[in-house]
Every structure is written in structure tokens, then in C-alpha cells.
Amino acid sequence: MTAGSQALVSVVSLTKIFNDRQRGREEIRAVDAVSFEAHAGEIFGLLGVNGAGKTTTLRLLATMLKPTSGEASVCGHSISKEPQAVRRRIGFMSTATSLYGRLSAKEMVTYFGRLNGMSREAIEQRILELFDLFGMNEFRDRRCDKLSTGMKQKVSIVRTVLHDPEVMIFDEPTVGLDVLTSRTIVDFVKDCRTRGKCVLFSTHIMEEMEKLCDRVGVIHDGKLLACEPVEALKSRTPSGRVEDAFVKLVGEPA
């Protein structure tokens, strides 16, 4: 990342409190005054354990949830005041991204391309490119409910990036995938960086974060405990290992 490169994602004191009725209206501070920036040509990782607040942070940015307080912008557009403009500039993929079982892989992707305002020709072109890249041609006409986990994941990713958005948000995209499929996705994410995209990526896998991310935000109990280049995170402990730095930051389990 070069100094002064453009911040495409800017998050200021973002907070989301859930009032969970099933838990006696207990207040859950899923995201607690989180601030960070992510730039064009950068992969920014959110690293945290289960329940840390990664998905909630990313869903707020994708305008799928409204913040309790704080603000964030994507390509200069406010997530609360201009959600439509934000949605046009992002692609959001999460493990919960649902597919319509009765549509084929190709129909599913085409459907979302149309929703994003793409022309039929542009959709055809991107499908040729991406189905080839992800090795999806053999199942392009198979119904989504007949696909394996990894195949579904690939459809979700292609559907997310078809319109080539400036900001790509991937919530644990490699969960449940074999080593070859994971590698295809990791290479794709790196290629997005080369093409000047801003990529937000969440994971709880240390090696993945280390391999991919330029900077990382360590999130725990909704709070951002550190936000720095991967090298800086590693140098927090004598071992120089991300895992040790992470444990030092979040504290040993009780």
C-alpha cells in the first residue's frame, strides 16, 4: 500500500447492540466502537474467534444491519444515509449467503448479475471468465440444491464478484473448503488486490490471514484490540508468530 492511497472503507466508532429477547433482553455489544480504514489495493483482515463480532461488522458495512451508533462509509457513501449507493459498490459474501435450490449454478449467477444491473452480454462474458477460473464448468447447469458445499461456495463467490465491485467483502470464504478450492479463492483474492480492489476478509485461521492480508484488525468481544500491518502484529511477541501475538492480545482462555 502506498502512503496516501485512497480509503475506500472508513469506519468510525461503529457500534451494534443486539437486544436478545430469548436471552431476557440481555444487551449484546456485538460491535463496540470499532474504527478502521481499508484502502484500494489492500487486503484488510478481521481476525477473531467465534462470536467476536466479525460477521456483524461486515453485515453493517454491507448495509444488511443498521448500526446502533457510529458511522461508516464505502467509496465515500454513508452506510446509513446512502445504503443503495453502498450496495452498488460492494460485493458481500458470507457463509450464510443463500442460493435458490431450483436454479442452476449459471442461472443463479445470472439472476444476481441482472439484479446488479448488468447487461446479458457482460454477464455471459464474466461467467465464461469466472466459471473457467474456479473450475465450475462441469456443474454450471446443475441445480444449486444438488451441489456440494465447495461447489455452492464457488457459486456464492462468483455471484458476489460478478459485477466487479470496488470493495469486496468476504466473510470466512474458505470455511469447509478443500485445499485446492481454498487456494483458488486465495489466489483470486490476491488478484483482486493487484487490480486495485479493496478487499475485506474475515477469518479465524491465522495462517490464512498471514498469507493474505496486508493489515489486520484483531477483534474480540466486539472491540478492535489492534489494527496494524501483519508484520507489526507478529513483532508483538518474541516468537514472531501471529498466533502468539493473537493470544497475547485477547488473553489466554480461562
User: Using the rule CB under 5 A, is 181 a contact of Mg ion?
Assistant: no
Site string for ligand ATP, 52-91 (x = CB under 6 A): xxxxx-----------------------------------
Q: How far is the CB of 46 from ligand ATP (least distance, A)?
A: 8
- The DSSP string of 38-75 is EETTEEEEEE--TTSSHHHHHHHHTTSS--SEEEEEET
Q: How far is the CB of 224 from Mg ion (least distance, A)?
A: 16
User: Using the rule CB under 6 A, is 165 a contact of ligand ATP?
Assistant: no
Site string for ligand ATP, 189-228 (x = CB under 6 A): ---------------x------------------------
Q: How far apart are CA 157 and CA 234, in angstroms?
A: 30
User: Using the rule CB under 6 A, is 96 a contact of ligand ATP?
Assistant: no
Q: Which stretch binds Mg ion (CB under 5 A): 8-16, 31-39, 54-62, 212-220?
A: 54-62
The C-alpha angle with vertex 166 and arms to 113 and 96, in degrees rounded to 5, equals 60
**Of positions 36, 42, 46, 55, contacts Mg ion by CB under 5 A:** 55
Report the residue number, 184 or 202, with the smaller CB distance to Mg ion. Answer: 202
User: Using the rule CB under 5 A, is 174 a contact of Mg ion?
Assistant: no
Cell of 124: 455471459
Q: How far is the CB of 171 from Mg ion (least distance, A)?
A: 6
Report the residue number, 20 or 145, with the smaller CB distance to ligand ATP. Answer: 20
CB of 195 within 8 A of CB of 40? Answer: no
Q: How far apart are CA 9 and CA 35, in angstroms?
A: 10
CB of 42 within 8 A of CB of 5? Answer: yes
Q: How far is the CB of 122 from Mg ion (least distance, A)?
A: 32
Q: How far are the Cα atoms of 45, 57, 60 from residue 20, in angstroms, in the given order?
A: 28, 18, 18
**Of positions 5, 12, 20, 101, contacts ligand ATP by CB under 6 A:** 20
Characterize 199-214 residue by residue with b for buried, 16 or more Cβ atoms within 10 angstroms of its Cβ, and e for exposed. Answer: bbbbbbebebbbebbb
C-beta neighbour count of 155 within 10 angstroms: 27
Q: How far apart are CA 93 and CA 116, in angstroms?
A: 15
Q: Which stretch binds ligand ATP (CB under 6 A): 43-51, 120-128, 191-199, 231-239?
A: 43-51
**Of positions 2, 50, 84, 194, contacts ligand ATP by CB under 6 A:** 50
Q: How far is the CB of 105 from ligand ATP (least distance, A)?
A: 25
* Residue 105, C-beta contacts closer than 8 angstroms, at least 6 positions apart: 131, 136, 139, 140, 141, 142, 144, 147, 151, 155
User: Using the rule CB under 6 A, is 14 a contact of ligand ATP?
Assistant: no
Q: How far apart are CA 82 and CA 63, in angstroms?
A: 9
- The residues that touch Mg ion, with contacts defined as CB under 5 A, are 54-55
Q: Which residues here bind ligand ATP, judged by CB under 6 A?
A: 18, 20, 28, 30, 48, 50-56, 204
